[in-house]
Amino acid sequence: MKGRVGEASFEAAMSTEAELTLTAGEASEPRGPRMVVDLRGREEMCGASPVNFAIRALKELPLGGELEVLTGVREQTFTLVQWARKNGYEVCELEESGREARIRFRRRAAKAAGL
Amino acid sequence: MSTAIKAYAVPEVLVSTDWVAQHLQDPSVRIVEVDYEPETAYQLGHIPGAVLINWKQDINDTVRRDIVSKEGFEKLMGRLGIKPETTVVLYGDFRNWFATYAFWVFKIYGHKDVRLLNGGRRKWIDEGREMTEEVPTVEPTTYRCHGIDLGLRAFLPEVSYAYQRDDVKLVDVRSPAEFKGEITAPPEYPTEAAQRGGHIPGAVNIPWAQAVADDDTFKPVDELRQLYEGKGVTPDKTIITYCRIGERSSHTWFVLKYLLGYPTVINYDGSWSEWGNTVGLPIEKGE
């Protein structure tokens, strides 16, 4: 499965069973489209979890770039928020509805992240 | 103990999140998180007082491709401050797969009182219970195993004989796509793939997740009985469970042995990564 973000293609290295959706979100700021990773309804595979897919997408963000993640269980939300906090990302928005959540992350600029 | 848990064959092996919350300070209880990836689990937060078993390093011998040795297990228990009489409660990432694998290893090495947190890490967090990053300091112990039960573990030679027997049923707990041979390993781990896709001849496919509810707690005993017996997995047979590397199958092993009380349930941890790569062994593809 390939999603396209602007001109860049992003290949989801997951099986069809654990296929994840990566789409261009609506631009909320002039800096361009935001990537969206949808983990809802996705299952762990042996040694590969949906959360890792989101973390990989976060690591590939440029400084100042944003990523929106839709989670399906609170464990995913907890993990991603905690991971972001420890790794120089800002949690700009967190909207929870039952077990699901929409989280908007921004990769801090090097100075702000203390790098 | 809830009515639902009491209905299982061996209800003592399962504890609820409430039970754990009430025993956080109990010195006779050691809570252990078992993670495949501690960096995205235990290290980001865990149940207060819980110690860590890193599945890859602590419970396996990665050189021999084997479970941890008896001596290694004793050292691990000592490091975690566990005594033979300690009540150990296991839970972990990946929906308790690796916790049930550890449970299986604890039973092989004869630890008497080991239990599983019903619903695991996912349910604890879902209920908004306290999490901490603080790693507890534990007083090391000297631990000695009292007996080893290798009857819980199947090796390739016996599986390659047993799969042809009428009184043996193999349960393949992987996803239907893996069972049918459409995929052999997660794409992120291509080096762990088997040479061939498919399943052991005669095995039935009952994916592990069919035994749990939405919140990862085990389904009621009647539903579990119907699930397995409906596919010919009955207590009069020797049951061998397998998956790819033996961790998802330990989850089903736990269900059949402790929740349904089947007398002879054996986990084949070599699983598909061994069978699918072995020269000369037959396989089946498709449904």
For each successive 10 residues of chain B (287 residues), what is the average pLDDT?
Answer: 89 97 98 97 98 97 95 98 98 96 98 98 97 98 95 97 97 94 76 87 97 96 98 98 95 98 98 96 95
Among positive and negative, which fits the CA dihedral B6, B243, B201, B182?
A: positive
Amino acid in position A21: T
Q: How far apart are CA B182 and CA B120, in angstroms?
A: 30
Position A45 scores a pLDDT of: 80
Residue B264: which of B165, B154, B173 has the closest Cα?
B154
The structure tokens listed for A62 are 């440029």
Instruction: Provide mean pLDDT across the span A35-56.
Output: 89
Residues B16 and B140 in one domain: yes
Backbone angles phi, psi at B43, to 5 degrees: -70, -15
Position B168 scores a pLDDT of: 98
Q: What is the CATH number of the domain that holds B222?
A: 3.40.250.10
Residues B271 and B185 in one domain: yes
Set B211, B243, B255, B259: catalytic member: B243
Q: Do A43 and B209 touch (CB under 8 A)?
A: yes
Residues B110 and B161 in one domain: no
Residues B173 and B83 in one domain: no
Residues B103 and B7 in one domain: yes
Residue that terminates a domain, selected from B148, B178, B210: B148
Q: Which residue shows structure tokens 């973000």?
A: A5
Residues B55 and B170 in one domain: no
Residues B161 and B125 in one domain: no
Residue that terminates a domain, selected from B148, B175, B203: B148
Our count of domains for chain B comes to: 2
Position A18 scores a pLDDT of: 33
Position B109 scores a pLDDT of: 98
The strand pairing partners of A69, in sequence order, are A37, A103
For B186, the closest of A47, A73, A82 (CB atoms) is A47
In this structure, the number of other CB atoms found within 10 A of the CB of residue B276 comes to 22
Position A113 scores a pLDDT of: 57
**A28 pLDDT more than 80:** no
Among positive and negative, which fits the CA dihedral B249, B255, B257, B260?
A: negative
In a domain, A115, yes or no: no
User: In 3-state terms, what secondary structure has residue B171?
Assistant: strand
* Chain B nearest C-alpha distance from A32 (Å): 29
In a domain, B281, yes or no: no
Burial of B70 (0-12, 13-18, 19+ CB in 10 A): middle
Residues of chain A in contact with residue B245, where contact means CB-CB under 8 angstroms, are: 46
Host domain of residue B245: 153-275
- At residue A64's C-alpha, the angle toward residues A60 and A68, to 5°, is 65
Host domain of residue A25: 2-107
Q: Is B243 a catalytic residue?
A: yes
In a domain, B283, yes or no: no
Position B287 scores a pLDDT of: 87
Q: What is the CATH number of the domain that holds A34?
A: 3.30.110.40
b/e code B206-232 from CB counts within 10 Å (16+ = b): bbbbbbbeeebbbbbbeebbebbeeee
**A66 pLDDT more than 60:** yes
Residue that terminates a domain, selected from B100, B129, B148: B148
Confidence band for A44, pLDDT divided at 50, 70 and 90: confident
The strand pairing partners of B15, in sequence order, are B117
In a domain, A78, yes or no: yes
Residues B188 and B61 in one domain: no
Residues B93 and B127 in one domain: yes
Residues B137 and B183 in one domain: no
Q: How far apart are CA B247 and CA B53, in angstroms?
A: 14
Q: Which of A20, A46, A71 to mutate to test the interface with B (most CBs of B within 10 A)?
A: A46
Query: Is the CB of residue B98 less than 8 Å from the CB of residue B52?
Result: no
Q: At what angle do helices A50-59 and A74-86 cross, to 10 degrees?
A: 30
Q: How far apart are CA A49 and CA A75, in angstroms?
A: 12
Position A36 scores a pLDDT of: 95
Q: Do B44 and A44 touch (CB under 8 A)?
A: no
DSSP states of B12-27: GGEE-HHHHHHTTT-T
What is the predicted ipTM? 0.92
Among positive and negative, which fits the CA dihedral B176, B179, B182, B183?
A: positive
In a domain, B280, yes or no: no
Q: Is the pLDDT higher at A2 or at B151?
A: B151
Our count of domains for chain A comes to: 1
In a domain, B192, yes or no: yes
